[in-house]
Amino acid sequence: MKFGYALWTFAIVQELIVRRFKVKLSEVSVGCVMKRLGFSARRPLYRAWEQDPALAQSRQDQEYPKIAACAKKEKALIFFVDESGIHSDHHAGTTWAPIGQTPVVKATGARFGFNMLPAVNASGQQTSCITLF
């Protein structure tokens, strides 16, 4: 819809309704309509837009069987890994405050993070590596 945001808020849906139907609803009314239509506020999952599903499928269908055969021959295990990072200063939640007064949360300036490299194989065996930074 050519909005400059990735998340659909009541304000954005409200603007869409104005653009499409020339009707101005309050954000509360937008919330009621969204609920009646079967929508609820959800924290989204993020996926890389660079993903190539055809390439992933070809690797699964063509390359993985070769790797699996080699691992079987070598009596080796195959593990699948996915790196994640967590930062101590990440703020995902919201809070309430009087209109026009932005709430301030006091926090230390000392920040830290972790990089995690968990791995699992097809049998469900797990391992992980965590590094501090």
Q: Please tell me the distance from the alpha carbon of residue 117 to that of residue 81, in angstroms, as a whole number.
A: 6
- Tell how far CA 125 is from the center of its chain: 25
The pLDDT tens digits of the residues spanning 4-61 come to 556 778 888 899 899 999 999 999 999 899 888 888 777 666 667 787 889 989 999 9
Residues 81 and 127 in one domain: yes
For the chain, report the end-to-end CA distance as a whole number of angstroms: 40
Residues 70 and 38 in one domain: no
In the predicted model, is pLDDT for residue 92 greater than 70? no
Specify the pLDDT at position 2. 66
In the predicted model, is pLDDT for residue 133 greater than 60? no
Specify the pLDDT at position 64. 92
pTM (whole model) above 0.85: no
Contact of 114 with 132, CB cutoff 8 Å: yes
Q: Please tell me the distance from the alpha carbon of residue 21 to that of residue 19, in angstroms, as a whole number.
A: 6
Please list, in sequence order, all residues whose beta carbon lies within 8 angstroms of the beta carbon of residue 120, skipping any fewer than 6 positions away: 79, 80, 126, 127
The pLDDT tens digits of the residues spanning 117-130 come to 888 888 888 876 65
109 vs 88, 89, 90, 106, CA distance in Å? 10, 9, 12, 10
Helix, strand, coil percentages, rounded to 5, for the chain: 35, 15, 55
Element holding 120 (H helix, E strand): strand 119-121
Q: What residue type is 65 in one-letter code?
A: P
Residues 12 and 42 in one domain: yes
Specify the pLDDT at position 4. 55
Contact of 9 with 30, CB cutoff 8 Å: no
Structurally, the chain folds into a number of domains equal to 3
Which one is predicted more confidently, 90 or 71?
Answer: 71
Q: Which domain holds residue 121?
A: 77-89+109-133
Asked if residue 114 belongs to a domain, the reply is: yes
